[in-house]
A and B are shown apart, each in its own frame.
Chain A
Amino acid sequence: MTATATTGAMARADGQEPTLKIEGLHVMVTSREIIHGIDLAVNKGEVHAILGPNGSGKSTLAYALMGRPGYDVTAGSVSLKGQDLLEMEVDERARAGLFLCFQYPTSIPGVHMGNFLRLSVKSRFGDEAIKTFRTELTEKLRLLKMDRSYMNRYLNEGFSGGEKKKAEILQMAMLKPEIAIMDETDSGLDVDAFKVVADGVNAMRGPDVGFVVITHYNRMLEYIKPDFVHILIGGKIAKEGGPELALEVDQHGYGPIIAEMRARGEQVELPEEGGATYAREEPVERHDDPFRAHGRTSL
């Protein structure tokens, strides 16, 4: 752990427990440790940005929090609103108010978007919520400039990259999480779609929700001003600070930060040489996905 690098959000002025509290988290994927001890605290009302080179473990962190099979927490603790998150099933985490906007959302043929949304709102808020479902949906669709006909389409099936991301934001807006993690929701969007998505997030911003925004681009952080910035390199938090840190990375890349880490005598694992590039535009299909590794075939 890097005591020097831990700052800011951990301590709250009012001394209360943060909404999401991560302590000493280690995560293994396919018998390799990817996250090597992370501390992070997120309160409602705050926006945290996580920046880091490709392969530094940003998605792994997000998946571990959302309980994805194959992402095993081997040490550390995570609490959500004081409850042990790691003890909860995936669906319980969602109903407790955690939400993950996936970097690569799953397509599910045969399941209609509208029906699915209705069921998820119902499981989070109960039968009562169905009464206001339609009006709320209409409002969110308008906000995200989405046509109602999306509701009759199969979930993410045949959606363009931009449509998938908008659909993720729509789900987030309907499920009103208390902690929302957005994994590169800005990647692969054209300028217009990017604006729509960013406006959607800004409209949700407020005292009731804390955001963890994983991104490679400063353009996202110009729209959604973060309160805290964390740099994740080689599965560790390398540096933390305010919005100015994002600018620093934008101008100088991760090189200086990696050098600082090494100067402190830390081991820094980089997935590949030149792994410090951070402007990959197109999402790359994963072939080392644990679901596939287990020989599951999709129908």
Chain B
Amino acid sequence: MATLIRSSARGSLPGALTTPGLSEATVQAMGDWRGDPDWVRDLRLRGWQAWESIPMPTMSTEGWRRSDLRWLALDAIAPAAPPAPVVEGLEQLPTELRGQLQTDFEEGGLIVQHDGTAAYATLQEALRRQGVIFTDLHTALHEHRDLLARHFMQLLPPRWRPGMPSNAGKFEALNAALFNGGAFVYVPPDTTVTLPLRSVLWAADTRAGFFPRSLIVVDRGARLVYVDEYRSAAGGRGEPLTFGSGAVEVYVKDGARLDYVTVQEWSMTTGAFLTQRATLGNDAYINWVLVGLGGQYSRSTADILLQGKGTKADLLGLAFGEGTQVFDVHTLQAHMSPFTDSDQLYKTGLRDRARVAYEGLIDIQKGSYGSNGFQANKNLLLDDTAKADSIPMLEINDNDVRCTHSSSVGPVDEESVYYLMSRGLPRAVAERILVQGFFEPVIERIGVEALRDRIRGAIDRKIGDR
């Protein structure tokens, strides 16, 4: 193992980036500070223009009808936080963060970013020799320009193209303008990375916005296991929510396989957006797990574009909310070629006054004959005050396809509670194992066994924390 990062930021953070308020000048300042090449500065500016021209969504905007953004205090947000020092060992990282880094699986590589700056990074030597690249995005923009130019902001462009879902665009544009931090992964053709690569994006400064942007490229016939973690520090009472908008572009090329786990454990004083979009080449496969546990408000947009023939996608979601947490979930399974299969299972458990609004679209485009699109959204409400809205949608433009969708909302099954209690388990224990049991069928579909316990553990901590 070797440390492989250097800081690409030039000098200390300019004042324009630490003062609250967002403007074109802050976008310019970000480009200067990051030492962006011209083509990247240009992308940032286009992002800023899009951010300014797209109206702020309201609860009457299509796709935002259940998204209450009144918490958003844009004027109070500084565009960036001062960079954290690069450390040589994990033990030098802040305690609050270190506690969240423990895993019981071996990692092929790890990048920890602290407010947009890569604080710690490793990659196994063997992987490096095979040509695997795993670094922070800014380093990559300098050192892997050709690879980047072909993929960067192609899938999630600074300005949403016509025909793309109308509810996306605004916060993705802001990310394009102000992106700061994020990871870049490249796996060369026919190369297998079995040990997970792991990226931890930590927002420590609760008054600064965070705008990570990552790019994952799994080339022809290659395999990758990738864990993408989002965390943030807890802010003070009465302060505005810490705001952020993240973006991830994922390319799974012909015959490649990606096992992708996204873990969102933002603090309860965070309100943030994360938009992830994956495109699949011929005969590619993605096993994608979205774990949502944190955030006071979180909006997760996960799109899968089944662009190649014979591609297959499993999209699995698990979320657990409490207090007044709001999960705003949007998924897309776009079938764009013949013989493409997608299967989504998204489960949410809620207690207290927590809410989820789920909208999932299966879009079968013309010419996707022989395709199968499935979608199931299930919601378990532990208290009467919790609420789940589920809107599965189908758009079918080809005849020779099979599609199903289903959704359910309900309390714990009292008959099951009774059965478990009749064996001596107190009600609280019975309910806890029923919640675990509710998620278990999703966990068992996670493609990488080593990651299942990690996700079980993350959920158990959340369920059992009272």
Contacts and interface: CB of A to CB of B under 8 A. Distances in A.
Contact of A69 (B418, B429, B434, B436): B418
Contact of B425 (A93, A120, A154, A298): A120
B346 to A, nearest CB: 13
A108 B437 contact: yes
A299 B422 CA distance: 20
Given A109-B441, A298-B416, 4 more contacts: A69-B414, A119-B433, A120-B424, A291-B418
Residue of B380, B414, B416, B440 with most chain A CB atoms under a 10 A cut-off: B416
Interface residues of A, number: 35
A111 B422 contact: no
B440 to A, nearest CB: 4
Interface of B: 378, 380, 408, 410-411, 413-416, 418-427, 429-430, 433-434, 436-441
Interface of chain B, helix or strand or loop or mixed? helix
A109 to B, nearest CB: 7
Given A69-B414, A111-B434, A116-B433, A123 B439 contact: no
A297 B381 CA distance: 12
Contacts, number: 101
Residue of B421, B422, B426 with most chain A CB atoms under a 10 A cut-off: B422
B424 A291 contact: no
Contacts of A294: 414
A84 B433 CA distance: 29
Contact of A90 (B416, B418, B434): B418
A105 interface: yes
Nearest to A124: B424
Contacts of B426: 89, 91, 123
5 contacts: A66-B422, A94-B421, A110-B437, A116-B423, A119-B433
A149 interface: no
A264 interface: no
Interface string A71-93: 00000000000000000011101
Residue of A67, A93, A124, A296 with most chain B CB atoms under a 10 A cut-off: A296
A123 B426 CA distance: 8
A171 interface: yes
A110 B439 contact: yes
Contact of A111 (B378, B380, B418, B437): B437
A95 interface: yes
Contacts of B420: 108, 111, 116, 120
Given A106-B415, A296-B411, A298-B415, A115 B433 contact: yes
